[in-house]
Amino acid sequence: MITGIHTLVYSDDPDATRAFFRDVVGWGFLETSPGWLIFASGPSEGGVHPRTWPGQTEPSIQRHELSLMCDDLEVTMADLSARGATFTGDVAERSYGRCAMLDVPGLEPVLLYEPTYVPAWTPRS
* pLDDT at res. 121: 83
**What is the model's pLDDT at position 11?**
92
Distance from CA of residue 72 to its chain's centroid? 15
Per-residue pLDDT of 12-28, as tens digits, reads 999 999 999 999 999 99
Give the pLDDT score at 50: 83
Q: What is the pLDDT of residue 5?
A: 84
**Which residues of the chain are modeled with pLDDT < 50?**
none
Identify the pLDDT of residue 105.
96
* Domain at 14-43+66-115: CATH code: 3.10.180.10
Q: Report the alpha-carbon distance of residue 103 to residue 1 in Å, rounded.
A: 35
Nearest to 8 by CA among 48, 59, 44, 61: 44
Going by DSSP bridges, is the β-strand pair 87-94/36-40 parallel, antiparallel, or unpaired?
A: unpaired
Q: pTM value?
A: 0.85
